[in-house]
Structure 1
Amino acid sequence: MPRGKYTNHKGRNRHFTNPEEIEEQMKREEKERKWREQRGDESSSEEDEEKAKGGKGDSESSDSSEEDSEEEAKAKGVENLIQVENPNRIQKKAKKLSSLNETVKTSAKPELSRREREELERQRAQANYQRLHAEGKTDEARADLARLAIIKQQREEAAKRREEERRQKEAAKQSKTAQVHKALGKKNT
């Protein structure tokens, strides 16, 4: 008995075959194969050889594919009575190269997702708005142009006022200097 509370049960029930048993089994199989050859059942011996080899080779693979199709034809239990198909299972269908080339040519534009379509539409609308705004056809552009016209007019009026004030100051300065000269009795040169 092992000490401690944890025991490992992995190696307890291992069974190894004796080399003598393996040799007896191989002899029995050899006798069965010879008996089949004498009797003329070569097809069953070929199947045994295929099983032993693992189904390798061209002719053997074609035989195994025929066997697979026979196995698919033979249904187990009530499979042949009830036909159930999984709607979620996608069966791959063989496509011809010519049809693939045609689909590539016809579908030059890739399908865009909803978000991508909305983004493209938003960019087109933005570009269109910028173009109309530059031409002055939008309400915002008209309001901006009207505001600019008012500002221009105000600036022109302010410039005229400043010019008038400058002339008046200049005229006042000249009149003042003229009075000073007159009072001093100097002549204008």
Structure 2
Amino acid sequence: MPKGRFLNHKGKNRRFTNPEELEEQRRREEKERQWRQERGEESSSEEEEAGDKEKNKSSSSDSESESEEEEEHVKAKGVENLIEVENPNRVQKKTKKLSSLNENLQSAKPELSRKEREELERQRATAHYQKMHAEGKTEEARADLARLAIIKQQRAEAARLREEEKKQKELAKQAKTAQTQKALVVLHYLVIYLHLIHL
């Protein structure tokens, strides 16, 4: 098998759809839809789908004629067009009304598996615990509040001690500056006295 090439199980090259082709196809479909809206054939894609389903279900004669038309449009393979064969394995798609599908979905309650039920119960329990914890009704919340009160008290005490130390430092600094001022005054007088003696 050559390197760098993708081969399928039949030995043929794979063909990947080009993103530009997909974008071009989307644009074409959008233009077609807008053209239909302008002509009034289509008001919305949902209404078109619902209308198509209602048309298919409207009468059995219509559905028979449509199925004949669909068979004519489908390209026959092999001897299919020569011999009519009923294939028991062929499953025909049955169209269902949108309203009946919605009713079935609304009336049926989803059955949850054991894991899903346990997960929901676990989520409810955690939400209830968090609510009780926020209100302060759990043991852990009470312990946290007591610890918080102790920490607040310690922080207040530490702040008070820092304030006292700061005041003591300021007093010491003021005393030191007062002492240096006195020393400077004494030194000044001493210099004056010495100066007078020399004269």
Q: TM-score, normalization: structure 2? A: 0.39
Structure with larger Rg: 1
Highest RCO, 1 vs 2 (Cα 8 Å, sep ≥ 6): 2
Q: TM-score, normalization: structure 1? A: 0.41
